[in-house]
Structure 1
Amino acid sequence: MSGSEALFLCRCLLVVATVRVGLTVFSYNRVRAMVTRLNARQCASMGELRLVAWGVAAAARFVPGATCLTQALSGQYLLARKGNASNIRIGIERGTGEQLKAHAWLVSDDHIVLGGSVDGFAHLIDHGSL
């Protein structure tokens, strides 16, 4: 790992931990408002999307309770800091019976950055800067 990659991973760890604490202390809407206040309008390159996906996923392994929502918000913040627009997509799993299972993805320019496949999920809402 290069020095710049190690530095980026440290930044990701700080962001993921901060978002996790934020979601514990504040509401989702308040944390989302803090993230989306950044003026992010341009599309990220595939390299930037891959870097954010790698950094957030790696950092989340060290942060207890770093759920899909924590990771999506963290990735959105990291992209927005560079002016790159993205959405948090929230959906629920189909066919789960009485048990409701929700999931969050980070989407940028129709590319899923974090969260895996949307197959088997019903789309509920998108939140973000796109």
Structure 2
Amino acid sequence: MRNWSRVLSLSGAEMLFLMRCLAVVGAVRLGLTVFSYNHVRGLVTRLDAKGAASTGELRRIAWGVAAAARFVPGASCLTQALAGHYLLARQGNASKIRIGIERDTGAELKAHAWLVSGNHIVLGGSISGFTHLVDHGP
């Protein structure tokens, strides 16, 4: 209930942006359920984005995607990174989806995904404690 009261207190522009984020996060989550990661990644990364996002734009994307993910069941770090990448690319801003695995977890493999733009981690938290595997994006 607390999430809804916060949503209802947003301005009209914030509400529209959150709804756009919700639609993208939901579509990416559905896509990852139905299709392979490579297929969804191909759709999300097809936009040619070369610009650098401002810190304000990165914070706005981080807020919108994280807030929308609270309403989408199973919206994992990978779902959020893909959705954020798409939203940034729609604005012409370049980013990468970084995938890594956690070190020293024993027999259990723990993977994680981040959205990185320039030198900024937009979504996914700290990279320390993880081994970098691959970056997807320009």
TM range (shorter): over 0.9
Find the counterpart in structure 1 of residue 25 from structure 2: 16
Partner of residue 115 from structure 1, selected from 124, 127, 132: 124
- 1:20-31 maps to which residues of 2 (within 5 A)? 20-31=29-40
Whether 1:45 aligns to 2:28 is no
Counterpart Cα distance in 2 of 1:26 and 1:85: 24
Whether 1:73 aligns to 2:85 is no
Provide the secondary structure at the position in 1 that maps to 2:136. Answer: strand
Aligned length: 129
For the aligned residues, what is the CA RMSD?
Answer: 0.5
Counterpart Cα distance in 2 of 1:82 and 1:64: 26
> Which segments of 5 or more consecutive residues in structure 1 lack a partner in the other structure?
none
Which amino acid in 1 is paired with 2:61? Answer: V
Partner of residue 92 from structure 2, selected from 55, 79, 83: 83
Which amino acid in 1 is paired with 2:38? Answer: N
Q: Kindly, what percent of the aligned residue pairs are identical?
A: 74
> Which segments of 5 or more consecutive residues in structure 2 lack a partner in the other structure?
1-9
Which amino acid in 1 is paired with 2:102? Answer: E
Which amino acid in 2 is paired with 1:113? Answer: V
State the TM-score, normalizing by the size of structure 2: 0.92
In terms of Rg, which structure is larger? 2
